Structure 1
Amino acid sequence: MPYELHYWPMIQGRGEFVRLALEEAGADYVDVARRDDEAGGIGPMLDRLSDPDDPRPPLAPPFLRDGEIVIGQSAAILLYLGPRLGLVGASERDRIWTHQLQLTVADAVDEAHDTHHPVGVGLYYADQKPEALRRAAEFRVARIPKYLGYFERVLAANGGARLVGADLSYADLSLFQLVAGLLYAFPKSTAAALRTNPRVARLHETVAQRPRLAAYLGSERRIPFTEDGIFRRYPELDP
């Protein structure tokens, strides 16, 4: 049976980290909520989230169904998929290290989100714009260079091309997505940071050129960045 990915059909969001792994591996999967209502839609996803009889419900999408197994949280999904898709090393040491890197990407994603929603996720951006301006300034100046500098150091210690070992891992795919999102939301600050972190910039370029990923990125399956997702471009936040 194909993997079933459940995520909002109109944004990349945190589901995109899972989509990239599935696409790179050529896995048989169904993006359930992006089907029409008769074949899928968001109904099954919402039903699963609100099922009172489910003893182990996911809190929110994304979640992945593989037969009887249901996994929530992007990092946990990738921890599960990594060995099955050939996107993680065979040793426990490599698997845990790759998972650690994925969690670090998740930290950066959360901070990027909080630049436009620093007060509350239930408020509109316009309701917290002064706080967003302050939060984004610190993110641009200190946090983007810190995160990209960290991954630059990891790449350098591993030979320069990959984060873990010699082969592509899901952490490489997730770093690609992080950089892509930052280039969309903070193009000026991210471009400046990439100039001092050339290995990260090169990984972003080479991942995008991989045949399956290039086909996916150029297809309608790749949802565009918008101002409804995690990475949002507000010019005043990246002056």
Structure 2
Amino acid sequence: MNLLPLFAVGLAGSVHCVGMCGGIVGALSAGAPARTIPIVPAGAGAALPMAQVGELTLRVLAYNAGRIASYMAAGALAGGLAGGAASLARVAQWQGIAYLLANGMIVALGLYLTGWWQGLARVEAVGRVLWRHLQPLMTPLLPMDTLPKAFALGGLWGWLPCGMVYSVLLTALLSGSAAGGAAAMLAFGLGTLPMLLALGLAGATLRGALQRPGVRRACGLLVLAFGVLGLMRFAGGLQHGWLDALCVARA
């Protein structure tokens, strides 16, 4: 049940993916220009034959499978390292600190999505060091015209500096195991899948609709509610019970 809020955070937070990944995934659409990197040549806007639609769908799915696989690898690494460190040090207090950080980051993500606070953007600078080493590996994968290339490119793109991913990684760290961390990031990644799959097939039209301030604000408020709920639970303001299913992470 605790994976359901992570799925919901991914689903609501995926409006952020519209700007970060939408140009890339949308470039696979026949009528969408390649705004970020030229994955495949853009079409003239004509309807695609069914065979090409099926091929396009497979490429988008392969790209997203690689992206989610990279999330799971990061989650397994975070959960495994945290679990090992806790076992060696025999310290339980770290869980309370990590719980506060995890829900605080979810609150920050909600504020970031609503546009009320942009501090989370500064956190993304932490991942730019790693991204500078990974970005050159993308060149041999372009154009993304085969399924293996799509999967590999998605796997690399999953390491793009992203405050939303970092927020959920703190929850994966709380799992205390590699399997738990991977499961947490899988649930989150599957939540982002419908949006990016639709972007890959619908192109620029859907991107424009999803970038409306009202849509982002509504999604941000939903994510913000998850974080606030978790902080209230930690402070003892809410009783344990069925609301456990709505907490992104447990204390």
Tell me, yes or no, whether TM beats 0.5.
no
Question: TM-score, normalised on structure 1?
Answer: 0.28
Higher relative contact order (CA 8 A, sep 6+): 2
In our comparison, the structure showing a higher alpha carbon Rg is 2
Is the helix fraction higher in 1 or 2?
A: 2
TM-score normalised to the size of structure 2? 0.27
More strand by share: 1
